[in-house]
Structure 1
């Protein structure tokens, strides 16, 4: 794999804007890596675009860079998805948790750029309410945040940003990527 290929890993708590920023990066020509999940699709999610949806029995951890469990469902990035995307594209992106980012950084140290989004608990709750999450899901996410220390910057983060203005955030990330190609 060529050294100049980059995997942009967006990390942050629920509601930090990872998906929204990722969608904007896609509009700028940076291809999204699609992760796999055992949870059922939400009403607006599309197979192969938002996630690959599979049954729990079909999940073979050996085919994934790492697999994480949240809320009783498994999420993972397949090795096949990474290889296929990097064979075709110079820049790719995805959202992951800290463990996924660490696994990606370990496996692809020269290609991986970890971008960590800072978000206060209050802002996280506000954004989750705005996107329509139910109170129970929000409470579970707050508990998860505390249990995992999700708001703490990962030691392998290459760039830390507070996502308060989408256009400004995206531009800062694009500038950061340009400097690190």
Structure 2
């Protein structure tokens, strides 16, 4: 079977990780585990949610893309892609919009981009609060240039991305089912 990669992108709080976890549970689509130097959140597990790295250990990875976001480094590696493809031919990856653009450049024939958005950007802040991010971390994220960049679909992804408004979880799940059906047909 042909390898495929669904790259999930959008602003922080738009539901990227939630969507990726849902795809894994509902459709058996493994998520590529990415790397970060940010501290672990209370409910996160190393090697499951992220590979939690130091700047030194991250520099030793074979990264496809990397970005600094709110003062922390994030990146995805060839090794992590290969591990996910060993589980299934269709896998998902959560990255920012800059990372999505990189993946389209590196793997143009096998990448599909899913851009998540919401109707009201204030709801993104509410979601960050619900996941128990620290108030100072939320403030740092929502004032960052990266957050502002990821609120809108970049022009380079306009013709390449499926845009999904993630305001209502039941509607989002229906749209995801329709999207996954296109991959499997």
Scaled by the length of structure 2, the TM-score of the pair is: 0.87
Correspondence for 2:101? 102
Instruction: Tell whether the 8 Å contact from 2:117 to 2:151 is kept in structure 1 after alignment.
Output: yes
Q: How does 1:5-16 map to 2 (within 5 A)?
A: 5-16=3-14
Correspondence for 1:177? 180
Instruction: Tell whether the 8 Å contact from 1:145 to 1:151 is kept in structure 2 after alignment.
Output: no
Q: How does 1:1-181 map to 2 (within 5 A)?
A: 4-28=2-26, 29-60=28-59, 63-119=62-118, 120-144=120-144, 148-154=148-154, 155-156=156-157, 157-181=160-184
Cα distance in 2 for partners of 1:135, 1:54 equals: 23
Instruction: Tell whether the 8 Å contact from 1:11 to 1:96 is kept in structure 2 after alignment.
Output: yes
Cα distance in 2 for partners of 1:97, 1:146 equals: 8
Which SS does the other structure have where 1:32 is aligned? coil
Cα shift at 1:145: 5.3
Cα shift at 1:69: 0.9
Cα distance in 1 for partners of 2:50, 2:150 equals: 22
Cα distance in 2 for partners of 1:150, 1:122 equals: 14
Instruction: Tell whether the 8 Å contact from 2:70 to 2:141 is kept in structure 1 after alignment.
Output: no
Scaled by the length of structure 1, the TM-score of the pair is: 0.88
Shift of the 174–108 alpha-carbon distance from structure 1 to 2, 3 Å rule, reads: farther
Deviations 1:1-38 (A, max 9, x none): x5x32211111111111111111111020001000112
**What residue ranges of structure 1 are gaps of 5+ in the alignment?**
none
Count of equivalent residues:
179
Cα distance in 2 for partners of 1:166, 1:110 equals: 30
Cα distance in 2 for partners of 1:180, 1:37 equals: 29
**What residue ranges of structure 2 are gaps of 5+ in the alignment?**
none
RMSD of aligned residue pairs (Cα, Å): 2.0
Cα distance in 2 for partners of 1:112, 1:146 equals: 22
Cα distance in 2 for partners of 1:129, 1:59 equals: 28
Residue range with higher mean Cα deviation, 48-57 or 148-157: 148-157
Instruction: Tell whether the 8 Å contact from 1:121 to 1:142 is kept in structure 2 after alignment.
Output: no
